[in-house]
Amino acid sequence: MSSLKIHVMVAVVAVIVLGAFLPSHASTTVDEPAKYNPTAPAPSPSHSSPPPVQPVIVVQGVIYCKSCKLRGYNSNMDASPLPNATASLVCYGDEESNYRVLNQTSTTTDKNGYFLVMVYDVDMFDRHSCRLYLRSSPTPLCAAPFIPSNPKLGLTLLREQVATPLPNGARGAYHPKSALMYAPGRGGKCPPY
């Protein structure tokens, strides 16, 4: 066999072999390289307005431990702020609300005895029908209700005159008519803080 025939046969075999491995849609033209864009496309502008701010009522106060000289002791009150205590806000509905009752537990008091209740069901809130109750003390050494002395009696609320603006959506801030206070029980002693 001549060398020309061998070269032609090798070329034919190469074309047949390459044809078997190349995808059927492959073309003989070279595709342009993909254009790389290092940034994400900007989101399409939204024509919807931001969601409305949820209205809220803020109820806040301080829970104390009577006759205990703990951190933050107030000699005028003879009491100290009680951390890790809670209060309950209970609002009684009327015929319009089908006599529903709103019962919310406050945040746990911080080291200064401060608690907060955020009321989102503003239709159920009426300061004249809402009461604030002692809910829990962190220690049995200061768990006897002192103000109010009867745990079934709650304190009425007063609207606060806030000098700084309230958060967006807040309809008002309220606090109890007097401080909420626990005391050591009979024969009890102050907690060791």
What is the tens place of the pLDDT at every residue in 150-170? 888 899 999 998 766 777 778
pLDDT recorded at residue 147: 94
- Domain 56-183 matching CATH 2.60.40: the answer reads yes
In the beta sheet, which residues pair with residue 174?
A: 59, 159
| Structure-token pair, residue 62 | 């301080």
pLDDT recorded at residue 136: 95
pLDDT recorded at residue 158: 94
- Give the chain's residues under pLDDT 50: 1-22, 25-28
pLDDT recorded at residue 11: 44
pLDDT recorded at residue 168: 74
DSSP tag of 97: G
pLDDT recorded at residue 33: 57
pLDDT recorded at residue 188: 77
Which residue carries 């809130």 as its tokens? 125
pLDDT recorded at residue 10: 41
- How far apart, in whole angstroms, are the C-alpha atoms of residue 170 and residue 183? 34
- How far apart, in whole angstroms, are the C-alpha atoms of residue 79 and residue 108? 18
Q: Is the dihedral of CA 155, 111, 166, 118 positive or negative?
A: negative
In the beta sheet, which residues pair with residue 119?
A: 57
DSSP tag of 20: H
What is the pTM (predicted TM-score) of this model?
Answer: 0.69
Query: Would you list the domain boundaries of the chain?
Result: 56-183
What is the tens place of the pLDDT at every residue in 64-86? 999 999 999 999 999 999 999 99
pLDDT recorded at residue 3: 45
pLDDT recorded at residue 27: 46
User: Is residue 146 within a helix (H) or strand (E), and if so which, with residue range?
Assistant: strand 144-147
